[in-house]
Amino acid sequence: GGNMAGLVSELANRRSQDGSSAATGLRKVTKDQQTWRKEFKGEKPKPQPVVVPPSSPKKPVKKKKVGLPILEYQERGTKWVVENHDKETVKAVSSTGLLEVEVSDPKQQVYIYNCEEVTIKVTGAKLKSLIVDSCSKVNVIFPTIISGCEIVNSKKIAVQSDGVCPVFTIDKTVGVTVYLSAESVAVSSFTTSMSSEMNVSIPDGEDQKEIPIPEQFVHKLTNGSLSSEVSDLYH
């Protein structure tokens, strides 16, 4: 009782000159907001509705832009161009399931771009160069190449040399298998950058022997210069 009387006295002393008290300005709690009443009556507080945020609309999957399929010889640049072909477009132009390019002059080049799931056979005595650019799941068979074969920005590519190819350049590509003829084994070299899952397949009697192209190296500093060696994983 003494404590309660002291509290009432304290509040009375804080009353200001304009008649307001220490409790002035406090929010009044209405009866329905007094939880002790509900607990006393055995009522459970009503559950608040769960607000589910609206789901953001899914972004449509962008399809790869594909132009019209092309298989033609262009005098300017002396090159054959094979573009935008897939297994469906090949069925429309070939009964064998192959796209065939017949090279008639060793100065001619073959440029293969934006193709998917096709096999391309280059025929003729020899050609100047061959480029596979931005392709996926493409196989290419070719005769002797004078300059070299380049594979760039591609995935799952297989190339087969039925003649001799001095240089294979592989750049920004994942998954490459190079099949060499017996006569090309001692001649061919490989330049690779930013690529992985690369293999060379060479004749081994009546079978083929597959050799991985290293993609892991060990670099050492010696007397101010850097030397590099293939990782022991490949030995």
Q: What is the pLDDT of residues 106-132, one digit of tens each?
A: 999 999 999 999 999 999 999 999 999
Q: For all residues of the chain together, what is the average pLDDT?
A: 85
Give yes or no for a contact between 78 and 109, defined as CB atoms under 8 angstroms apart. yes
44 backbone dihedrals φ, ψ, rounded to 5°: -95, 140
- In sequence order, what DSSP letters do the residues of the chain get, joined into one string? -HHHHHHHHHHHHT--TTS--TTTTPPPPPGGG-HHHHHHHTPPPPPPPPPPPPPPPPPPPPPPP----EEEEETTTTEEEEES--HHHHHHH-SSS-EEEE--STT-EEEEES-EEEEEEEESSEEEEEEEES-EEEEEEE-EEEEEEEEES-EEEEEEESS--SEEEEES-EEEEEEPPTTTTTT-EEEEES-EEEEEEEEETTEEEEEEPP--EEEEEETTEEEEEE-GGG-
Query: pLDDT tens across 51-105, in order?
Result: 666 666 666 555 555 689 999 999 988 999 999 999 999 998 888 989 999 999 9
> Which tokens is 76 given?
């300017």
Are the C-beta atoms of 194 and 174 separated by less than 8 Å?
A: no
Angle value at C-alpha 5, between 3 and 11, nearest 5 degrees: 105
| Beta partners for residue 73, in sequence order | 80
Burial class, 129, CB count within 10 angstroms (exposed 0-12 / middle 13-18 / buried 19+): middle
Instruction: Indicate the pTM of the whole model.
Output: 0.72
Structure tokens at 98: 């192959």
For the residues 184-195, what does the mean pLDDT come to?
Answer: 96
pLDDT tens column, 197-211: 999 999 999 999 999
